Amino acid sequence: MEIAELSDLLVWAAATTFAIAMIAFAIDLGRRGDERIEARSEARAAVVPAGADAGTVPDEAPAAGDVPAAPRRRAAGIGVSTSWLGTGLLLLGIVLRGVAAGRTPWANMYEFTLVGSFIAMVVFLVLNLRRDVRFLGAFVTGIVTLFLVVGLNSFHVAATGVQPALQNYWLVLHVGVAIAATGIFTVSFVMSALQLLRDGRDSGTPFLTRPGFRWLDRMPTPGTLESMSFRLNAVGFVMWTFTIIGGAIWAEDAWGRYWGWDPKEVWSFVIWVVYAAYLHARTTRGWSGRRAAWFVVVGYACVLFNFTGVNLIFNGKHSYSGIS
């Protein structure tokens, strides 16, 4: 078996592992509410004397020692463990891809997908080391699984070298930072999307008040989700700013001009403008809540279009960074 084939197998294994993690996290989201209700019922029953009518007993709070201990979130633990395993498998697949190609493994859409998914998982797992964000697990691992499967089936190309224009240290800096920013934007998008859903449920949106969306009650408050998303977007924005500056410097070296209104350049600037407007509106104009969250959703939609639509639809100097 060749190194490139082993890399592909590891990526498939990582995608499978992330799918298992997604299921475990989803089970955890679905069960947490039921376990809390059962815990409260047991605590209530503990203060009812034997043979007494529960309706005649005063609604007293049980003593601290009488409250059942919080149930262990075994499914969430499985989700975290398998997420770490999948991230390790994906890292190994990326490294072997680079070895097989003899270069930095992020020169085309397939490799961009692999490394971007890896960064998103690293961001999620590192955040989880600082605070409990396992509620994001089902959605982050779900997106990453989708990205990897699409990458393997639609963007995959042979592991080969790159043309002379890409044989530059800016490939490591410019593209590497762009991928890191994209991974951060992915996690912040999940937070903002959950913020919109949780806010809609709290506001009584008919569709979101159905029992099927009860899992939203276990999410942090919209304000907490917005605060976490804002911090990530601030970091991602700084990286994206460097991406544009680095790209301009590389363009001057390769093509003799800093800016040429290439489709990739234009959409990269559009992304920068959207996230800059979001950060400005939130910090100086007091925009918060749904308006701020929708800014993030629109910004991430631009990121996805810049990666897929611009590469596949438009012709430009960046066309060589597409599938082939």
> What does the pLDDT look like over 158-209, one tens digit per residue?
999 887 767 788 888 999 999 999 999 999 999 999 999 999 999 999 999 9
Identify the residue with better confidence: 55 or 308: 308
Q: What is the mean pLDDT of the chain?
A: 87
* 2 falls within a domain: no
* 143 falls within a domain: no
Q: Is residue 42 pLDDT above 70, yes or no?
A: no
Could you list the residue range(s) of the whole structural domain that residue 235 is in? 162-324
* 57 falls within a domain: no
Q: Is residue 34 pLDDT above 80, yes or no?
A: no
Q: Compute CA distances 206 → 198, 210, 212, 268, whole Å.
A: 13, 7, 12, 37
pLDDT of residue 316: 66
Three-state SS at 153:
helix
pTM > 0.85: yes
* 197 falls within a domain: yes
* 271 falls within a domain: yes
* 267 falls within a domain: yes
CB-hemisphere CA count at 13 Å for 162? 22
9 vs 20: CA distance, rounded Å: 17
* 50 falls within a domain: no
Range with the lowest mean pLDDT among 142-151, 204-213, 232-241? 204-213
Three-state SS at 70:
coil
233 vs 235: CA distance, rounded Å: 5
* 256 falls within a domain: yes
Instruction: For residue 174, report the phi and psi dihedrals to the nearest 5 degrees.
Output: -60, -55
pLDDT per residue over 45-76, tens digit each?
444 444 444 444 444 444 444 334 445 789 99
Q: What is the DSSP string of 18-31?
A: HHHHHHHHHHHHHH
Write out the two tokens for 225: 């989700």
Q: Compute CA distances 42 → 20, 35, 37, 38, 63, whole Å.
A: 32, 11, 9, 6, 13
From the CA atom positions of the chain, what is the Rg in Å?
Answer: 24
Measure the CA dihedral 157/1/89/192, to 10°.
20
Report the number of distinct structural domains present in the chain. 1
